[in-house]
Amino acid sequence: MTIHIGAQKGDIAETVLMPGDPYRAKWAAETFLQDAQLINEVRGMLGYTGSWNGHKVTIQGSGMGMPSLSIYANELIRDFGAKTLIRIGSCGGMQPQVKLRDVIVAMTATTLASPSQSIFKEVNFAPSADWSLLQAAVTAAQSRDIGTHVGGIYSSDTFYDERPDLNEQMVRHGILGVEMEAAELYTLAARYQCRALAVLTVSDHLGTGETLPSDQRERSFGDMVEIALEAAFA
């Protein structure tokens, strides 16, 4: 048990999927895991452990933003022995070829600032995904009838962004989509020598203003969870 996770030793698997929304963690656990048990509800940040194809899996909400994710990822790794952490979440598309419901497998994650920034001082550390997870996720995604994109994303530290000039530079430099957590997850995985990946569903588009209707989100997010699970145990 830690300050933010009320689980006991052994309750949490070495493989953890991390959606931002705790209710998405609940939905994913009930939909994809066998014998899922609630193992954390401290501060309403729900976590469940069950099995998928005979493999023990935990799905733990991370909250919104890098500071929140950093708390949960640190405790999962340091106190509960998590070895593979995969973010499953939504993102905003930034390139014209990226469409709603497409899946982005994030190779790298650019950020303006993260909780780890003070450690590196003048160095611009380049956080990236684990290659084995990335490769397996791409294979799993391409076996489905969904658009799949592999490349860099942008982890923003603000949701209501008032920097259109910054978004323009992200688009100019080929960034596929924007979200709020992956850069810190990749940095922590590098620090603790764990595996990390972000598999993201495009739920809206910054360029076109399109938004995925609520009745289509569950199906699209389901593809993302299956891709993450297949990648984790490839």
Kindly state whether residue 104 falls inside one of the protein's structural domains. Answer: yes
226 is in an annotated binding site: no
Q: Is 223 one of the catalytic residues?
A: no
Region of 25 (left: φ > 0; alpha: ψ -120 to 50; beta: rest) is alpha
Looking at residue 138, which CATH number applies to its domain? 3.40.50.1580
Kindly state whether residue 213 falls inside one of the protein's structural domains. Answer: yes
43 is in an annotated binding site: yes
Kindly state whether residue 4 falls inside one of the protein's structural domains. Answer: no
Kindly state whether residue 50 falls inside one of the protein's structural domains. Answer: yes
Inter-residue contact 202 to 112 (CB < 8 Å):
no
- From the list 11, 79, 157, 204, the catalytic residue is 204
Residues spanned by the domain of 180: 15-232
Kindly state whether residue 5 falls inside one of the protein's structural domains. Answer: no
20 is in an annotated binding site: yes
Query: Which tokens in the block code for residue 136?
Result: 């397996």
122 is in an annotated binding site: no
Give the separation between CA 195 and CA 204, rounded to whole angstroms: 28
E strand intervals along 61-175: 84-93, 103-111, 148-155
Kindly state whether residue 7 falls inside one of the protein's structural domains. Answer: no
> Cα-flanking dihedrals φ and ψ of residue 116, to 5°?
-90, -5
209 is in an annotated binding site: no
204 is in an annotated binding site: yes
The domain total for the chain is: 1
What is the pTM for the complete model shown?
0.96
Kindly state whether residue 10 falls inside one of the protein's structural domains. Answer: no
230 is in an annotated binding site: no
pLDDT tens sequence for the chain (234 residues): 899 999 998 999 999 999 999 999 999 999 999 999 999 999 999 999 999 999 999 999 999 999 999 999 999 999 999 999 999 999 999 999 999 999 999 999 999 988 898 899 889 999 999 999 999 999 999 999 899 999 999 999 998 888 889 999 999 999 999 999 999 999 999 999 999 999 999 999 999 999 988 767 766 799 999 999 999 999
Kindly state whether residue 9 falls inside one of the protein's structural domains. Answer: no
SS3 110: strand
